[in-house]
A and B are shown apart, each in its own frame.
Chain A
Amino acid sequence: MTAILALARAEFRIAARNRWLAIAAVLMVVFALILTAAGSGPTGSLGVDRLSVTVASLTSLSVYLVPLIALLLSFDAVAGEAERGTLSLILTYPIGRGQILAGKAVAHLAILTLALIAGYGTAGVAAFLLDPTSVQGLGALVRLIWTSVALGATFLGLGYAISARAKRPSGAAGLAIGLWLLAVVLYDLALLAAVVADNGGLFTKQVFPLTLLANPADAFRLYNLAASQATAVAAGVAAAAQSVPVWQSAASVLIWPLVSGGLALLSFRKVVP
């Protein structure tokens, strides 16, 4: 435990000095403020408080931003150590590979959580100042924060797995961007194309909900929109999948960090320095 905390402290310092913490926090705060301001239009007509609307917008944004920040934090974790020559050194210390990954994950997750709280917290305060009835949306905001942390944890794990496979930081960066494009952009586009081509057939009814649950980013969006019943203000793929029960999307959000952590450990165990 001491070893994990010591590793986490060093990693946190490195990320803070490399400005990752500042960049992530500023990014989240700026986007949250823009969305809060932009979301002021439709509230009256929908009869929902301002914070709930903001949360719906933030959900769509987080699907893109949180995986990106998580992958940026994690892609260098193993490949960078291998390139600097410190990987073989740290592997000769009396600590396990799981502990090494855990130390890095604790630090990176802490940075992500701080950035999320800064961004979403700002949005929450702004919404409350503009519309006191926003208190109703507090539950949705808390849910958005913890699911974002879970989504971040998922992509941190996937980033570590990539980093361990890549051997070089440049290769890991390329793979990380590829994974991000695939998971949050191309996957949905492909599904949309399939749904359109299927025209309400078997795929749309049976397979489509499962494909949404299988992707951590889609499961995150589904859960947040369905649980806050804010689907009225959201459009697109998520609105088309109201048939998925809330517990299923919640389970996917919770199970994915474990799966990606397992993948990271498997991938790291195979690394021969």
Chain B
Amino acid sequence: MLKLTSLTKHYQEVAALSAVSFHVAPGERVALLGHNGAGKSTLMKIVLGLIPYDAGQVSVLGAAPGSAQARAGVAYLPENVAFHPALTGEEQIRLFLSLRGEDPAKARGLLDRVGLHGAARRRIGTYSKGMRQRVGLAQALVGHPKLLILDEPTSGLDPVSRRDFYALLDELAAEGAAILLSSHALTEVEARTDRIVILSGGHLVATGTLSTLRSEADLPVTMQITPAFGQAATVADSLPEAVLQVAQFHLCVSQGQKLAFLARITALGEAVTDLELIPPSLEDIYSHFSRRDGQ
């Protein structure tokens, strides 16, 4: 569906994208992560054919970006899009249907699908931010696109709207659509995408599923050990690496040492009343990759 090979783009002297390569297969949901200015929006605009690129290859549905064939099968949701406040949601979607040569009468169905049934005849000016984002999403569903490019689709959405949004993406992916969505936080995309691509300073710094990224990052696990009453000294003796903080021992161990330490702690038996294992957070993993370039 989408294939990027050594994609490079410069703005004057500044490199916005440096030799970025990845692909999105049909039915696959890929999250593009990065800080502001990492090159996410630039990459998306190149894929959409809105701006030219300097080197490398881009293949969108087997055609050049921005070509008639590509435009016919690609849907886009821009970041922070605000439709004209004077039109109703239904009128806006009818227009987008007409622009793709579809029957405008399908507008109601599309608005129902994104949960805007009741507000279809109200002007967009009266919508909340989440409702406006739903109009944008309804627009992206017009004409069963083969590839969806969604720029920060969940920013500003409340948790319920976000969950609805990902449920809809699941349906689309199940129907065979390829989805590339960007976000600046790993916590927002977490388990709802098949693969994650992390950009930093225009470089692709990591790609893979969340679990591969987790093991690749090899960030330490934190263990919180609560000693039994009066047993603190015993625990401190057998775990000299642990630091005592407010009646709990904190231990930072690498992934490889994890099991060995667990064995040592369980060997303490009754001296330990509780053990908490805290894996590295999604933010820790993301920071690990996006800072590797010295940012």
A residues adjacent to B (C-beta < 8 A): 2-3, 5-7, 9-10, 13-14, 17-18, 84-86, 88-95, 272-273
16 examples of A-B residue contacts, CB within 8 angstroms: A5-B98, A6-B99, A9-B95, A10-B87, A10-B95, A13-B91, A86-B82, A86-B83, A88-B48, A88-B78, A89-B78, A92-B48, A92-B49, A92-B71, A94-B99, A94-B100
**Taking each of B72, B75, B84, B104, which has the highest tally of chain A beta carbons within 10 Å of its own beta carbon?**
B84
- With the chains together, A168 CA to B139 CA distance in Å? 25
- With the chains together, A7 CA to B100 CA distance in Å? 12
B-side contacts of A95, CB under 8 Å: 99
B-side contacts of A14, CB under 8 Å: 84, 86-87
Are A93 and B83 closer than 8 Å at their CB atoms? Answer: no
Query: How many residues of chain B are within 8 Å of chain A by beta carbon?
Result: 32
Within 8 A of A (CB), among B102-120: 104
- With the chains together, A84 CA to B75 CA distance in Å? 18
B-side contacts of A86, CB under 8 Å: 78, 81-84
B-side contacts of A5, CB under 8 Å: 98
Are B76 and A92 closer than 8 Å at their CB atoms? Answer: yes
Which one of B68, B86, B101 contacts A17 once the chains associate, using CB atoms below 8 Å?
Answer: B86
A-side contacts of B78, CB under 8 Å: 85-86, 88-89
Which one of A2, A84, A92, A93 contacts B82 once the chains associate, using CB atoms below 8 Å?
Answer: A84
Are B95 and A6 closer than 8 Å at their CB atoms? Answer: yes
A-side contacts of B71, CB under 8 Å: 92-94
- With the chains together, A10 CA to B94 CA distance in Å? 9
Are B81 and A3 closer than 8 Å at their CB atoms? Answer: no
Q: Looking at the assembled complex, report how far the CB atom of A94 sits from the nearest CB atom of chain B, in whole angstroms.
A: 4
Are B96 and A93 closer than 8 Å at their CB atoms? Answer: yes
* B45 at the A interface (CB under 8 A): yes
B-side contacts of A93, CB under 8 Å: 71, 96, 99-100
Chain A residue at minimum C-beta to C-beta distance from B96 = A93
- With the chains together, A91 CA to B149 CA distance in Å? 14
- With the chains together, A93 CA to B99 CA distance in Å? 7
A-side contacts of B45, CB under 8 Å: 88, 273
CB-CB under 8 A for A273 and B84, given A3-B99, A93-B71: no
Chain A residue at minimum C-beta to C-beta distance from B81 = A85
Mask, B36-50, CB within 8 Å of A = 1, is: 000000000100111
* B181 at the A interface (CB under 8 A): no
Are A10 and B91 closer than 8 Å at their CB atoms? Answer: yes
Q: Looking at the assembled complex, report how far the CB atom of A23 sits from the nearest CB atom of chain B, in whole angstroms.
A: 15
